[in-house]
Amino acid sequence: MAALAPYPGRPGPSGEPDLTTALGTAAALRVGATTASAVVEATLRRIADVGPRVGAFVHVATEQAMQAAAEADRRLAEVPNRADRERDLPPLLGVPCPVKDLNPVAGMPYVAGSRALLGNVADVDDGVVHRLRDAGAIVVGKTTTPEFGFPCYTEPDVAPPARTPWDLTRSAGGSSGGAAAAVAAGLVPIAHGSDGGGSIRIPAAACGLVGLKTSRGRISPGPLGVDGPGLATNGVLTRTVRDTALGLDVLTIGWPGDGYRLPPPATTYLQACDRPPGPLRVGVLREPIIADCAVAPAALRAVERAEAVLRGLGHDVTEAPRPFPADRWAAFAALWSVLALSIPLPPQAEDLLTPLTRWLRERGRAVSGIEYAVAVAATQQLARATAVAWDSYDVILTPTLAQPPAPIGSLRDDADPAADFDAQCAFTPWTSTYNLTGRPAISLPLHREVTGAGEAAVELPYGVMLGARLGEDETLLSLAAQLEAADPWVGTIPTVG
């Protein structure tokens, strides 16, 4: 069970550096308050101590991380003047940042949460890893993911489940569950994640973090990956909106041949956090979109809290309609199953897959070429329908999840993968809408509530999700930063007991 401890906004009595935010860590390095080697050593100690209890890592790159830290210290020493460091050095120099195990990192295991890939080691860095390294980040390891990132829980057969540090009996969400657990437990200040149906926002909500799915075309999957149906994007999990904005600034540098490209920000995404968004029209939607399911009262109270703060900030808050009926969401299921089938695996690997992955691949085999083309067209039609339904709103506010963080094992159903899939939809009835439409959406940890009584009492996070029009990531970050300033959530962090 997790207990609450004061937020460690400065080095503790042990003298270890503050590792709670990426911007804070980078600033400490620039002023010479600590060294990259000390930061990484402290990070590795925390990972060794707490990492297994929250199921955050599937691989810790101790030697590579320490070598990268020594190189960061060398670069810092070459630029002794603080002003010159701010201008000339990359923004994440010396900051630990693990990579989700759906993306290859040269010399590290690349298993994607699957028994079918055990023993596989990557020989190249993915594009997003290049961008993180170019920004000076130190890749300290690979974080836990469910098999190929398909479920909204992180319970792979190859590693322990990822647990939210707020209550170790509950899931960290998925599929970036290990990344979220690592940040929420204070192991690292920022972690790479990816989102194809909510896989950054879901664990952000379950772990009390900030999680942004950017607009389609904002972050390139290149040069190794392709856009495909355009559902998924890379990103980061962080404690603060500004750390998320910094991550976006780092990752939005494109690659030759990108199929989607959006205009760059007016200045930077980080600077957008300091610009007031102006009065916005906010539509509130409490009704689930893709499933007929109950919504926990605490999740609705999180929305009510956000509504009150938004009104106090001068925004026009009204009710918003459901953008399309649930049955039109079937296009997502067709695309999702074909994506599962398209994973290049030898026939003998099929028996090593989880029941859910096998079920998804079997559904993919049943989708004909014309059915796939119709599904792609249907997603484009849904994007148009959503744009019409929400045209009068700048931002849409919903809960991120319909329920509190799910108990470990409560969603996974190996005996009935179809029921497993339906349970996931009921748990996440809003998130995939933004993957289908390509719009940006951010989950914010605006609310927490105590459940249970006595020794069983535990405080759990409840995320609220804000979504904007395609391309309006700056507006979303500006509003999110305004909410963070008006109703700060960085007051306490869970301490794993």
Burial (0-12, 13-18, 19+ Cβ within 10 Å), 184: buried
DSSP string, 382-415: HHHHHHHHTTT-SEEEEES-SSSSPBTTSS--TT
Q: Can the peptide bond before residue 223 be classed as cis, meaning omega within 30 degrees of 0?
A: yes
DSSP string, 42-74: HHHHHHHHHHHHHT-EEEE-HHHHHHHHHHHHH
Structure tokens at 35: 């060294």
Provide the residue type at 166 as one letter: W
H-run or E-run covering 2: strand 2-6
Burial (0-12, 13-18, 19+ Cβ within 10 Å), 488: exposed
Q: Can the peptide bond before residue 176 be classed as cis, meaning omega within 30 degrees of 0?
A: no
Q: How far apart are CA 323 and CA 320, in angstroms?
A: 9
Which residues form the catalytic set? 100, 175, 199
Dihedrals phi, psi of 316, to nearest 5 degrees: -90, 110
Q: How far apart are CA 15 and CA 59, in angstroms?
A: 27
A 10 A CB-CB count for 87 gives: 9
Q: How far apart are CA 156 and CA 115, in angstroms?
A: 9
Q: How far apart are CA 20 and CA 152, in angstroms?
A: 25
Structure tokens at 368: 């004909």
Q: How far apart are CA 392 and CA 383, in angstroms?
A: 15
Q: How far apart are CA 437 and CA 231, in angstroms?
A: 8
A 10 A CB-CB count for 195 gives: 28
Provide the residue type at 147 as one letter: E
Q: How far apart are CA 14 and CA 16, in angstroms?
A: 6
